[in-house]
Structure 1
Amino acid sequence: MRTNNFKILFALSFTVFINTFSYAQDIPKENQKIERTVIDPIDIEAEQIELTADSLDIADYPEKAQDSTITDSIKPKKELLENIVVYHADDYTKFNNKKHQLQLYNQARIEYGDMKIEAGIITIDYSTNTVYAKGIIDTLDAYTQKPVFTQSGNVVEPDSIVFNTESQKALIYNSQTEQGEGTVVSQITKKENDSVYFVRNAKYTTASNLEDPDYYIKLRKAKIVPGKKIVTGLANIFIYDVPTPVGLPFGFFPQSETQTSGIIIPTFGEQNDRGYFLQNGGYYFAISDYFDLTVLGDYYTNGSWALRLENTYAKRYKFRGNFNLRYESFITSERGFPDYAKSTIYNVRWTHSQDSKANPSSRFSASVNLGSSNYYQLSNNQANVPNRLNNTLASSISYSKTFQGEPQVNFSVTASHSQNTQTEQINMTLPTFQGSIGRMYPFASKSGSKKGIIQNVNFQYNLRGENRIQTTDSLFFKPGMFDDAKAGFQHSIPLTTNFKVFKHFSVSASTNYNEVWTFKTVNKYYDPEEEEEVTETINGFDSFRTYNFSTSVGTTVYGMFNFEKEGKDSKIKAIRHVMRPSLSYNINPSFEKYYDSYEVIDADGNTSGEVEYTRFEDGIFGTPNKTFSSSVGMSLSNNFEAKVRDKDSTATEAKKVILLNNLNFSTAYNVAGDSLNWSPLRMTGGTQFFDNQLSVNFGATLDPYALDNNNNKIDVFNIDSGGSLFRLTSGNLTASWAFSNKGGDKKGKDKNMNENLEGGGRDDDLFGVSEDFSRAQKTDYDNDDKEESEESFYSHKIPWSLRLAYAVNYSNSRRQNEISSHSLMFSGDIQLTENWSIGGSSGYDFKNLGFTPTQLRFGRDLQSFTMNFSWTPFGPYKSWNFFIGIKASMLQDLKYEKRRQPDIQL
């Protein structure tokens, strides 16, 4: 092949020439600025931009038409996955390009949108948008790492699952899904979307053992909307896989996490004198998050009925309370029979408490318990069992306000009520007003410290006003109850000071000015024609003023008795005795100017005597003092404590033990009296034993004067008439003992005390507990936090508890020498096994030789069920009550209750 050297040389020469003398763009001169035009992108289309053309003309090219496929009406397909897939596996992650599958093995986890799956093996098929999840069979042929499917807060634990990421549908095999307090166990579940599930032949139960539940409700066909509802077809209850006839052709189970209105199923029973009955049935109204209402009713086939309204309200950091209204109409026998009777009883209860954070300067509270005096004795409702022995009903509604400053001003308005259920006497104050101005120290130094008798002088102002009503049960809430109302005001200004003398004695002195206003006074005179005293009521303002003076001096004396000796470790180390003696002096002047008199004239017209009275004797704040008194009071309080060797050998200090918590003596001597100058000596004391489990209190009254043959006190000392130094006129002893072994469990006791306290009863079970077991189900269920161990051995320690209350009173003021009252009350509980418990409450009256109302209780925890039996074997309230029901609150109407009520005659 021939080479053309000339043409090659020519081409190279031309290339070098072009590269040397040619360039595509001018190079600007140095220091020459290039001006740039800033154009707003919005105005690019609106403005015409002129460009300086190059020396070479720009050729015009024809405009190319846009392809019509760019604006085609066919929408493009969605991406294969709309969300980011996050996955993890402990062992390996394998992708099969041929099958378009991703496999995760061992502790696999995948998150796609709001969907999360955890399982042993997870396979993702990208061609069908399907996720497969299942567990792993280990070397022992055990199925482990079962899938856990979570979506929109719903958790499902199946054996395996197939999930489509595009349609959001799934097939779930052998799943366990929590719905409210229960669990749905289903072999096959179809998930329609994130809020609807369909199941077939599923089980719904609240049992803790899902492998072998003690009961379940079989759902043959059901639709589940998590957090809202379960709608079923034919459903019935199975107990240990044994079908029962208890069922429904269709059912609706609300699953709302908030309170929901609904029907309350009544209790069936029979009473001899009223026939068959339905009790405690009604409706619950979930009005709002702060307010609800329960309407309950009873009906008896003889026409008797009862209605109860129960309301609970609360607002966080503001207040909380409840209101109960109970009304019962009883019919005895049949109309036309001589023993036919009809009566009504009612009871109103209201409690309200204000949160301390709501308003620190003002407070409103209420505790109301009023109604028929015999309500608790005649009511057939099992919730009232512990309050049948109540002798008083009390109520109080108060509002108080404080105005900060110097001095501080306080006032309160209170309405109170006290009702004796035995005498049916009612005392009310509507209202009571109390106001006060804080203590003021007019002579105190500006530095703040007060020293001496002058600087400690202080005074304050108190005001009390009352409108007092005394009525009976028959006139309660009727216009006649206000006819005898009494009103008045009391003003008091106490002036006090205190100081030290001889370093160890504290001296206090005070004088008090008291002024009473009243709006009703009396005028008395003797009517000789009727030969009786006549009392007239005078309406109008009147007042009286009194004052008194008192002073006291006291000190504290400490005594120590040491028992320790060198080289000996004595059990009792020391005994300390603390004495607080006090001596007081009181002067009460006589205010005879407020007293008048009238003459008593006999039938012959002769004056037989003169009677003194004061026109303020019906006032609510007492009467002016008529007799001048000047008395000296003496008191001595004692406290005894011991230091003993601690049983714990590692303890470095001795153990302190209280021997006598208090032992007090008090008496007085009337200097101005002409006879019987000495007041009886009063002794009181109290102590605790057995680590404060046993509390003992005692008291006695000792009179130094003797009695005559008519058992009247005379101005002769008892020792001078041949007796002892003092004559025991009264004595009392009370003891309460609550103890249990260390394994005793008191859990669940408080639920029975609420009804007792709200009804004005005791805070213990000595009078029995409420028999409304259906309301106690939820409390038992919520408190059931026992953890069962895999190895459960029977413990030789049987938990038990015992409570005793003993009281005895002695009277001998007029040589009657009798025990006025003597009783013993006791209650106890024994936890025989983990699930069996028995208990009882009773008492014995040693004075009247009879038992108090007795209640025996038996309870059995049946895992998902609770069973209770209460029995009053004798007495006017002889009855029994059997109950068995499911613990879960949602299924608390699935219960059986059989009762025999007491036949209380009206």
Structure 2
Amino acid sequence: MTLQKTSHNFTKIAFIPLQTNLFHIVLFSFLLTFGASNIYSQDIVKKTKPIPVTQPKKAIPAVKEIKTPVIDTIKKEKDSVKTDSIKPKKAFLEGKVKYKADQYAKIDQKKKLITLYDNAELYYQDIELKSGKIIMDYEKSEVYAGRIKDSTGKYTQYPNFKQGSNVIEPDSIRFNFKTKKALIWNSRTDQGEFNVKAAITKKENDSVYFLKGARFTTSTNKENPEYYFQTSKVKFIPGKKVITGLTHLVIADVPTPIALPFAFFPMNKETSVSGLILPSYNDSNTRGFSLQNGGYYFALSDHYDLTVLADYYTNGSYGMRFESSYATRYKFRGNVNVRFENLINSERGYPDYSKQNIYNIQWSHSRDSKANPSSSFSASVNLGSSKYFQQSINQSNIGSSLNNTLSSSISYSKTFNTLPQARLSLSATHTQNTQTESISMTLPTLQFSVDRIYPFVGENGVKKGFFKNINLQYNLNGRNTINTTDSLFFKPQMFKDAQVGFQHSIPLSTNFKLFKYFSASTSVNYEEIWYLKTIRRSFDNNQNAVVDKTVNGFDAFRTYNFSASLGTTIYGTFNFGDNKKIQAIRHVMRPSISYAYTPSFEKYYDTYSSDGSGTMDTNKQYTRFEGGIFGVPGLTNSNTMGISISNTFEAKVRDKDSTKTEPKKVMLLNNLNFSTSYNLDADGVTALAWSPVRVSTGAQFFENKLNANFAATLDPYAIDNSGRRINKYNIENGGSLFRMTSSNITLNYSLSSKDKDDKKKDKQTTRNGGREDDLFGTATDINDNRQSLFDGSEEEGEDTISEFFNSKLPWDMTFAYSFTYGNNNRENKITGNSIMISANADLTPKWKVGVSTGYDFVQKGVTYTQMRFERDLSSWRMSLNWMPFGANANWNFFIGIKSGILSDIKWEKRNFPNR
């Protein structure tokens, strides 16, 4: 057989035993015959199955392969002798070896070497090796890889050793296929967030490495990092942990006195690892020295975790926080935060000593719509002490402290695919005013509805005309409402004051066209209200006052009403010519008139004596349903007519781009609305006929960057000296046609050096109820100061530094103005006039500054002001957040490593607000 040359596409070591001559063939035949005669002299057990003949595999000329002689060429059949003193030789490799090289692949049969040169590649089991030069000793089962020099004498084509998911880039490597051991010089590897470089690396087995003269860092610059940890000895288990000996921190190649006798770094790739969270040290003027945000992180499973944090102050104050996140793919996700603080001011015995407990509970839950398309469940909870965000000593969140309300909602809905379709929902809501400390809750709200039914629709299903459009539906609304305060929250008295009610409504309606251009609709609505509590009002002689006695038990009342509306749309276009800049103005007007009638339900009203005399003059009317959550039946007729006009103004403007033939549409005024109503049963004494006219409009300017909104209330009636409206028009009283009682103007303007459509929102601020913009300043997450103060700074990619006079400085600014006028009782004064500005700018590619401030022209003072400074130090971050004055005056300085795995390597200092 002719030998293949090394320049051929394929070379198989399996063909080496077939290199022979005639003498060897005769000798081999003689030995085979002699051996066979000895075998047949023994007792042979009959074989039931013939020995299959193995067909030789055809060579595939694509990739070079090395196969062991025993495995790939001769498959020996089992001997009939059960025991044999001669054991077959094991293959020196346990799998196929594939290789290739650009310049040459040289095989030295005497030395058992294969040499690959220039872009050499070698593949064996889960090992991939790429290098400039690879030498394989298949007798010793070893491989060596190293660099090569280019024409300039520079080393190129460094080895790249990959085993499984671990990649090492050394200067050279020596590896044994059998023992899996390796010796690596100047290795470089990425392990999680770490970049590791070592002078000598010894690979003990697939899971253990020993490093000598190693350094590891989170810097992206592997060759010249701005900082690294230097250690002499390291035990490294890829994907699990790093254990080091004496380790010290080096910054800018300058050793620092910061050192540890040993260090342990978890590096689990699949799940988070539990561990301690080191606290930060601070001091406060009112509570002494403190340790804050120390605790433990519990990686409970792949689906949920738990973080426990605590604060302690030397005056006895302390705080606890429990934070947990959970998620199951394609099912649900959410997080829970529970925060509690025991606050002590001053020292016991001093006049300013005080002690209080505050808390806050937040829960967010969302379910994937794919889990169950016919039902949904969601939760957004934010409740607790009304003064938590104003008084908490572990919060620096201006947006949350200025917010006046906390709200929560938990809801579940289910759709029943019946005919007609029905929907059921259960929800619990919570609204809390942080100023008055009043709380309103519904536990729960039940809503059930049945889709519209068209009883007069024909078989063709066409709904056209008065009769065919007649439809009805059924709605049920049940509530358990609780109104309480902070002091009674979740106490027995809170549940005793709960009110329960059910509202059943059956609306019957239709719509149709009238005289071709008018759209008309009519409806009749029937309602039935159920209550479980009513009142009995009477005069108590013992208390000498009118008292209400609660009557427990079922009671109900029934009402009905009628309404109709008629409206149309009028279009008008004013053309100025195609040569004009403004070619045309289009006016769309939508006038409508409505009528509503509700009769009197006086039968549900009783009388009581207001002074105990029992005379008719002192008797007053009341209904036992007063205070009910769905209102009370009306005592008098309601017979009103409503009038409203909606206007839209749009212009066609010649485009600045001369290549465009079509004009550009520009919105001038969006929804200029006028609305009022007339009481047909008004007597001019107890009720006036016309209600105030409400005007509202909005517009956008400068490519929709400036939003302007205006609203006003115009009263046609005059007022007397006591400020009460009288049945006399204002123009008859020497005034104008309308008396402006209130008005409001708001302007919002945002501009930046580049469009930021996907601007990140401040999640902490909005979650706690603050603003999405940063007009009140950005939230400082005290638990994690590694995050940037500015939106998008962590995701902008690499910085591009250009020439100084040609450099681009990204910036953005948000501007808001509010003006409120009040003249309800001839006070004729400006009740609100303030401006707020927030601006951020990149002074350099590494320096960012920002400010949020404002001025109140009525109170004549500067509003909440925040100044932000940040320096990007590549792998580190330095920031200063400063509120120079006000009730929340404080500052916070931080410098630390960005990487989460080294988040404890930081230094921060701050002072607390004087609360």
Return the TM-score normalized by structure 2. Answer: 0.88
Change (3 A) 1:746 1:215: farther
Amino acid at match of 1:800: W
Mapped contact 1:614–1:623 kept (Cα < 8 A): yes
**Correspondence 1:853-892 to 2 at 5 A:** 853-892=864-903
Match of 2:586 in 1: 576
**Correspondence 1:287-436 to 2 at 5 A:** 287-382=300-395, 384-436=397-449
Match of 2:669 in 1: 660
Shift of 1:534: 2.4
Mapped contact 1:774–1:892 kept (Cα < 8 A): no
Amino acid at match of 1:759: N
Match of 1:651 in 2: 660
Mapped contact 2:119–2:133 kept (Cα < 8 A): yes
Matched, 1:593 2:593: no
SS in 2 for 1:454: coil
Match of 1:93 in 2: 105
Match of 1:26 in 2: none
Structure 1 CA distance for aligned equivalents of residues 80 and 547 of structure 2: 121
Structure 2 CA distance for aligned equivalents of residues 266 and 842 of structure 1: 32
Structure 1 CA distance for aligned equivalents of residues 801 and 558 of structure 2: 80
SS in 2 for 1:253: strand
Shift of 1:538: 1.7
Mapped contact 1:402–1:408 kept (Cα < 8 A): yes
Match of 1:213 in 2: 225
Match of 1:232 in 2: 244
Mapped contact 1:602–1:608 kept (Cα < 8 A): no
SS in 1 for 2:373: coil
Shift of 1:529: 6.3
Amino acid at match of 1:587: Y
Change (3 A) 1:709 1:339: closer
SS in 2 for 1:387: helix
Match of 2:714 in 1: 702
Change (3 A) 1:97 1:241: same
**Which of 504, 516, 522 is equivalent to 1:503?**
516
Structure 1 CA distance for aligned equivalents of residues 733 and 375 of structure 2: 61
Amino acid at match of 1:494: P
Match of 1:464 in 2: 477
Shift of 1:581: 0.5
Mapped contact 2:228–2:249 kept (Cα < 8 A): yes
Mapped contact 2:209–2:236 kept (Cα < 8 A): yes
Matched, 1:160 2:172: yes
**Which of 205, 223, 248 is equivalent to 2:235?**
223
Change (3 A) 1:531 1:194: closer
SS in 2 for 1:117: strand
Matched, 1:674 2:683: yes
**Which of 527, 539, 546 is equivalent to 1:526?**
539
**Which of 744, 748, 754 is equivalent to 2:763?**
754
Amino acid at match of 1:520: K
| 1:362-389 Cα distance to aligned partner (Å, 9 max, x none) | 1111111110000000001135443110
Mapped contact 1:781–1:887 kept (Cα < 8 A): no
Aligned length: 837
Matched, 1:123 2:132: no
Amino acid at match of 1:459: L
Mapped contact 1:544–1:624 kept (Cα < 8 A): yes
Amino acid at match of 1:755: Q
Structure 1 CA distance for aligned equivalents of residues 80 and 728 of structure 2: 133
Shift of 1:525: 2.3
Match of 1:21 in 2: none
SS in 2 for 1:386: helix
Shift of 1:70: 11
Mapped contact 2:283–2:290 kept (Cα < 8 A): yes
Structure 1 CA distance for aligned equivalents of residues 81 and 609 of structure 2: 129
- Per mean C-alpha deviation after superposition, the further-off stretch among 283-292 and 128-137 is 128-137
Match of 1:517 in 2: 530
Mapped contact 1:601–1:608 kept (Cα < 8 A): no
**Correspondence 1:134-173 to 2 at 5 A:** 134-173=146-185
Matched, 1:801 2:812: yes
Change (3 A) 1:531 1:193: closer
Structure 1 CA distance for aligned equivalents of residues 783 and 817 of structure 2: 33
- Per mean C-alpha deviation after superposition, the further-off stretch among 627-636 and 98-107 is 98-107
Structure 1 CA distance for aligned equivalents of residues 692 and 631 of structure 2: 24
Structure 2 CA distance for aligned equivalents of residues 649 and 797 of structure 1: 30
Matched, 1:825 2:836: yes
Shift of 1:570: 1.9
Match of 1:897 in 2: 908
SS in 2 for 1:334: coil
Amino acid at match of 2:384: G
- Per mean C-alpha deviation after superposition, the further-off stretch among 477-486 and 365-374 is 477-486
Structure 2 unaligned runs (5+)?
Answer: 1-44, 51-78
Structure 2 CA distance for aligned equivalents of residues 620 and 870 of structure 1: 47
Shift of 1:497: 0.4
Structure 1 CA distance for aligned equivalents of residues 176 and 612 of structure 2: 114
Structure 2 CA distance for aligned equivalents of residues 542 and 144 of structure 1: 91
Q: Over aligned residue pairs, what C-alpha RMSD do you find?
A: 2.3
| 1:348-406 Cα distance to aligned partner (Å, 9 max, x none) | 11111111111111111111111000000000113544311010011111111111121
Match of 2:119 in 1: 107
Change (3 A) 1:402 1:126: closer
Matched, 1:539 2:539: no
Change (3 A) 1:108 1:321: same
Structure 2 CA distance for aligned equivalents of residues 102 and 781 of structure 1: 53
| 1:211-240 Cα distance to aligned partner (Å, 9 max, x none) | 211000112100111111111111111001
**Correspondence 1:727-738 to 2 at 5 A:** 727-738=739-750
Match of 1:476 in 2: 489
Give the structure with higher Rg (CA): 1
Matched, 1:193 2:205: yes
Change (3 A) 1:693 1:263: same
| 1:566-593 Cα distance to aligned partner (Å, 9 max, x none) | xxx3211211111111011111111111
SS in 1 for 2:305: strand
Mapped contact 1:387–1:767 kept (Cα < 8 A): no
**Which of 858, 864, 871 is equivalent to 1:847?**
858
Match of 2:822 in 1: 811
Structure 2 CA distance for aligned equivalents of residues 664 and 789 of structure 1: 50
Shift of 1:714: 0.7
Change (3 A) 1:792 1:318: farther
Mapped contact 1:774–1:885 kept (Cα < 8 A): no
Match of 2:59 in 1: none
| 1:607-633 Cα distance to aligned partner (Å, 9 max, x none) | 653322111112111111111122211
Mapped contact 2:608–2:620 kept (Cα < 8 A): yes
Change (3 A) 1:888 1:459: same
Change (3 A) 1:877 1:792: same
Amino acid at match of 2:899: A
Shift of 1:531: 4.0
Change (3 A) 1:127 1:364: closer
SS in 2 for 1:593: helix
Mapped contact 1:700–1:732 kept (Cα < 8 A): yes
- Per mean C-alpha deviation after superposition, the further-off stretch among 381-390 and 103-112 is 381-390
Change (3 A) 1:789 1:166: farther
**Correspondence 1:276-287 to 2 at 5 A:** 276-287=289-300
SS in 2 for 1:756: helix
SS in 2 for 1:551: strand
Shift of 1:677: 0.6
